[in-house]
Amino acid sequence: MPGSGGDPGFAEIFAALGDPTRLAIFDRLSDGQARSIASLSNDADMTRQAVTKHLRVLEMAGLVESHRIGRESRYAFCPDRLALARAWLDHVAGRWDSALMRLKSFAEQSSD
């Protein structure tokens, strides 16, 4: 919603995306295929534990869901919070655009 710059919820979402590793994981999961921690750890130059922590951050932010199957826990993309983040950015961009519009119409009116 408008004027929600102070809402800590949005900040949490962006903060979760504010790390190259997490961004890569999130991007990777966006193809719809759920993956195990071990699988995601293979192409991240760090320990499985580190990847686990990143996944927890993404999950806390609601960007990702996990469910255990047998001995492995699979993480899956979760679109809801992503939509929220997009809506917020759209709102800000829209406000900026309308500010530009007002400025433009004022300039045109002045030069009449």
Partner DNA sequence: TCATTAAGCAACCTCCCGGTTGCATTTAAT
Partner DNA sequence: ATTAAATGCAACCGGGAGGTTGCTTAATGA
The reply to whether 106 sits near its own copies by the rule CB under 8 A is: no
In angstroms, rounded to a whole number, what is the distance separating the alpha carbons of residues 3 and 103?
21
Element (H, E) at 38: helix 37-42
Supply the minimum distance, in Å, between the C-beta of residue 15 and DNA. 8
- Stretch near its own copies under the rule CB under 8 A, chosen from 15-23, 34-42, 47-55, 65-73: 15-23
Supply the minimum distance, in Å, between the C-beta of residue 11 and its own copies. 4
In angstroms, rounded to a whole number, what is the distance separating the alpha carbons of residues 58 and 26?
8
Q: Is residue 64 within 8 Å of residue 55, measured between CB atoms?
A: yes
- Stretch near DNA under the rule CB under 7 A, chosen from 38-46, 78-86, 89-97, 100-108: 38-46
In angstroms, rounded to a whole number, what is the distance separating the alpha carbons of residues 82 and 99?
26
In the complex, which residues of this chain contact its own copies (CB under 8 A)? 3-8, 10-12, 14-20, 22-28, 30-33, 77, 79, 82-83, 85-86, 89-90, 92-93, 95-96, 99-100, 102-103
